[in-house]
Amino acid sequence: MDKITVPKVKHFKGKKIITALTAYDFLTARILDEAGIDIILVGDSVGTTIQGLSSTIPVKMEEMLYHTRIVKRGVKRALVVGDMPFLSYQTSQEDAIRNAGLFLKEGAEAIKLEGGEKVAPLIEKLVSYGIPVMGHIGLTPQSVNLFGGYKIQGKTEKKKERLITDAKALEEAGVFSIVLEGMPEEVGKEITESVSVPTIGIGAGRFCDGQILVITDMLGMDPMFTPHFVKKYRDLYEEIKSAVREYIEDIETQKFPSEEHVFHAKKKEE
């Protein structure tokens, strides 16, 4: 087992395509880790996927720390990255350092935060205190209100240039990788070629240094959410529903429990 570390992820650029998925619990994290994923992100997407929220904005620090703790218990090899929720790093450098540090205390080996040039001084500070940072630009979900919805970013020349400037500022500030979310493939490619740190794409085309998806999306657990950029590897929504229906029927027809599932008392005293 070759433990994935922050320097290794940096070193992968141009040598190995980075694989990443989100996870929010122990069992899922253990499965992803055993399958050989490089990075497990404890994403604030926990809000929309697990908590039933319509955005990631209400997700709280204590919830993120809880999910980081239980994910970490399932992981031996992958790099675990904790996602800083809305308002955990925007209020002050002190808040950001404290909150980022709390992720590390729960076992995360790095944190991720959203934003470009504006958050670069903060990232520099975090890195100087030994906290590895993954950047995140493009369709950053915590800015959904500013964007007026989950809209693809960087579509005009000016906006593309903005994203390239942001990516370079993050690189300069010391991030070890950058998530590129929701942008034209050409923009993802140009950013990837403009920075020396690996880019990890989600809806950012084929030319990033790695790819990440939300675990519940790629497993097909939510039939109401099928964005264009997601490949559904399974239809777990239907799989689980049909298993539960079978279970209900088995109980009602007294097929379960059967002889193989029951305990028996000793026949006579020994």
**210: which strand partners?**
18, 200
Q: Which position among 106, 114, 181, 190 bears the catalytic label?
A: 181
Choices 27-35, 42-50, 148-156, 255-263; region in contact with ligand KIV by CB under 6 A: 42-50
- Tell whether residue 88 is a contact of ligand KIV (CB under 6 A): no
Q: Does 212 bind ligand KIV (CB under 6 A)?
A: yes
CA distances from 250 to 175, 238, 253, 260, 264 (A): 53, 18, 5, 14, 21
Nearer Cβ to ligand KIV, position 72 or 247? 72
Among 37, 170, 179, 219, binds ligand KIV (CB under 6 A): 179
Report the distance separating Cα 238 and Cα 241, nearest Å. Answer: 5
**With binding defined as CB under 6 A, does residue 109 bind ligand KIV?**
no
Distance between CA atoms of residues 44 and 30, nearest Å: 19
Alpha-carbon distance of 48 to 56, in angstroms, equals: 6
DSSP secondary structure string for all residues of 154-223: --SHHHHHHHHHHHHHHHHHT-SEEEEES--HHHHHHHHHH-SSPEEEESS-S-SSEEEE-HHHHTT--T
Q: Tell me if residue 181 is catalytic.
A: yes
Is residue 214 at the binding interface for ligand KIV, with CB under 6 A as the rule? yes
Residue 45 within binding range of ligand KIV, rule CB under 6 A: yes
CA distance 170 to 184: 20
Total residue length of the chain: 270
Give exposure, 23-59, as e/b (b: 16+ Cβ within 10 Å): bbbbebbbebbeeebbbbbbbbbbbbbeeeeeebbeb
Show the binding pattern over residues 124-163: x = contacts ligand KIV (CB under 6 A), - = does not. Answer: ----------------------------------------
Rule CB under 6 A: is residue 78 a binding residue for ligand KIV? no
Closest approach of Cβ 244 to ligand KIV, in Å? 27
Question: What is residue 133's three-state secondary structure?
Answer: strand
- Tell me if 209 contacts ligand KIV by CB under 6 A: no
- Closer CB to ligand KIV, 218 or 256, in the complex: 218
Sole window of 39-47, 97-105, 185-193, 223-231 interacting with ligand KIV (rule: CB under 6 A): 39-47
- Which residue has its beta carbon closest to ligand KIV? 43
Contact pick of 23, 29, 38, 43 for ligand KIV (by CB under 6 A): 43
Q: In this chain, which stretch among 27-35, 41-49, 222-230, 241-249 interacts with ligand KIV, using CB under 6 A?
A: 41-49
| Residue from 44, 166, 171, 190 binding ligand KIV (CB under 6 A) | 44
> Do the beta carbons of residue 195 and residue 169 sit within 8 Å?
no
Where in the sequence numbering do the catalytic residues fall?
A: 181
Interacting residues with ligand KIV (CB under 6 A) = 22, 41, 43-45, 83, 179, 181, 202, 212, 214
